[in-house]
Amino acid sequence: MSLDAALGERIYFTEVGPRDGLQNLPEELPTALKVELIEGLLDSAVDLVEATSFVSPKWVPRLGDAELVMSQLKARRGDSCLDQLRVLVPNRRGMERALGSGARRVIVNLGVTESFNQHNLNRSRGETLREITEIARQGELANCRWDASLSVAFGCPYEGLVRPGQVAELAGTLADQGASEISLADTIGAAHPRQVAELVEEVSQRVPARLLSLHLHDTRGMGLANGLAGYQAGVRRFEGSFGGIGGCPFAPRSTGNVCSEDLLYLLERSGAGVAVRLEGLCAVAERLAQELGRELPGRLYRAGVWGPGSPG
């Protein structure tokens, strides 16, 4: 699809910073600050905020306060906020904890390669798929939607380049099981624009394009270009992390996620329909930078949103 043909088409955006970003910070943030940041993101009109993870605190100690984060958000904003929150669950026990906290939407993870799945989840892909089947059943009974993320969809730190057909097959399996959204994750930031376009085309032959999301990392400085390539290829769902914070603790040298406000600024200036308040995202990034006492990787929050009528 040409860029001109895509003009004005609305972007659906999921902010993953509170989970994917904060879990990799060297500092442990207080729960109150996490809640403050999430509220700022919700006020910025993102469609969904990935608020936390119900992974064992032994593996991801930075998110050991998952239940407390959820309870404080409900107390401050009411149960209606749950419709705008998503949480990560690694297994059935995590799903039970999430449902106990009132979650109405969760995301599961599956490594495209066997090696990464073993490093990330300590299980084979087959075992993980069986676990996802059980999680899907739990979700159906509790009226809880579930999404799926395919890690290392473009390249694996242990097995190298990933075949598009392999990704498409797994995406199709997850769609058949009832996933509401399937995220193609460039976990180590190995993708380039042509590869993004080719993978989206391949997977779209097996899964409706409306279900696909792109989760990009900027490890090698290609995140924004890859986002634009994805939009041109027909993707309308994207994930990012405010300020460009993030990475993956189980992927060597995997630095930050693509910066939410930088990506949305690019897409908006390219003609996409962006409903998110970019100034709001910038304010959240600035708040965290002040708390940490250092600059974040993102650029827009430092430069300001420029244009007629823009305060930056």
Q: Which of 81, 144, 156, 248 is catalytic?
A: 248
Does residue 248 have an active-site annotation?
yes
- What digits encode the pLDDT tens for the residues 114-165? 999 999 899 999 999 999 999 999 999 999 999 999 999 999 999 999 999 9
Amino acid at site 156: C
Domains and CATH numbers, the chain: 12-303 (3.20.20.70)
Nearest to 166 by CA among 95, 236, 93, 115: 115
153 CB burial (10 A radius; 0-12, 13-18, 19+): buried
**Predicted confidence (pLDDT) per residue in 8-39, tens digit:** 789 999 999 999 999 988 899 999 999 999 99
Q: Is the pLDDT of residue 254 over 90?
A: no
